[in-house]
Structure 1
């Protein structure tokens, strides 16, 4: 009996473990999509002439407006709490939107941030007021830009240009479209968690695709033989 019990345990445990992890994959909590088809930033030009796009990137999107010097505290907050924590992940970027003519102010802000971090994935883009308004409108959030085309909120946009957030914020009870960069607590308690969830979602998808690719390759070899 002892022998059969041991054999039974050795046989059943791997099956239970497989079912547990398979269930975890299928029921993995994803960061909700709040808006589809966020407008691409083709109408904007970058600070250093590079081609910056939202597609195929995980983007933290911000609107610094006509007075970026007044948004300096927000920039430092998201740099310390979000950027420095996640910038080494592949395809992760910060994109800050400003009106045309604010290039020097943006460069000054970049220079102030650069002693504290690697700025390789901090991007500043510039466009006409209408293009900025159109981009912000495409987020379909429950907030508005102020008269200087800025907002203290920053937004998470995924690789398919979908706005990610929370359908119901535990504090307000309303959807959480963006995160208040003036609040270190909100960045720490909410945005960090949501970026983690999104990155884990993509890692899981990549792992699943790699497994499928290996399986297909193996089946092709079998068929050839």
Structure 2
């Protein structure tokens, strides 16, 4: 009798596990698209581009020193975890003329990790506002053209986020002043979009072989 129970468990358990993960793939396999046709930063700064990369997009504004804590949180919780992926980048938008402050921030971040994929895009006030407006989110820039929130932009210039967040309903961005939010929400969402593109790449490669 005991042998039958053990054999039954050994047979049923893998089926249950498979169904659980299959359900997870269906429910969580894609990160929802919240906004189509986000403006590319290349329109204001030709040295930078969003298209073709999975981007964490932020707005650091005129007082970059005031955003240093946010940058450290983002660096420790997101960049150090995902920065090695070829298709991943960080792009922070700042006003023109702030290059010296940017270099100071990068030097501080460089003490904790490499900063190879920490990029900064420069624009006028009107260009920065236009880019931010293209996100079509429920978040606002402050009077210094900054926000603690960062956004996930996919390779096709679409804003990705959550449509059923337990706290906000529709979640457009992630608060970099909250380590808990980065740990408990943003890490998961970046994982999902990276997995989504890896699965798509594997499928395309398999289709070519057929």
Q: Tell me which interval the TM-score lies in, with the shorter structure as reference length.
A: 0.7 to 0.9
Deviations 1:171-224 (A, max 9, x none): 23x310000000000000000000000011011101100100111xxxxxxxxx
Residue 38 of structure 1 aligns with which residue? 38
CA distance in 1, matches of 2:25, 2:192: 15
Output aligned runs, 1:52-201, within 5 Å: 52-172=48-168, 174-201=169-196
Would you say the 8 A contact 1:43–1:127 is kept in 2? no
CA distance in 2, matches of 1:53, 1:35: 18
Deviation at 1:136, TM superposition (A): 0.2
CA distance in 2, matches of 1:79, 1:133: 25
Residue 213 of structure 1 aligns with which residue? 208
**Alpha-carbon distance change, 205 to 101 in structure 1, aligned in 2, over 3 angstroms:** same
**Alpha-carbon distance change, 211 to 128 in structure 1, aligned in 2, over 3 angstroms:** same
Unaligned runs of 5+ in 1: 1-15, 216-225
TM-score, scaled relative to structure 2 = 0.87
Unaligned runs of 5+ in 2: 1-14
Would you say the 8 A contact 2:70–2:148 is kept in 1? yes
Secondary structure of residue in 2 paired with 1:161: coil
Larger radius of gyration: 1
Secondary structure of residue in 1 paired with 2:150: strand
CA distance in 2, matches of 1:213, 1:73: 46
Q: RMSD in angstroms over aligned alpha carbons?
A: 2.1
CA distance in 2, matches of 1:155, 1:88: 19
Count matched residues: 193
CA distance in 2, matches of 1:146, 1:25: 38
Deviation at 1:44, TM superposition (A): 3.0
Would you say the 8 A contact 1:58–1:159 is kept in 2? yes
TM-score, scaled relative to structure 1 = 0.81
Deviation at 1:29, TM superposition (A): 2.2
Residue 6 of structure 2 aligns with which residue? none
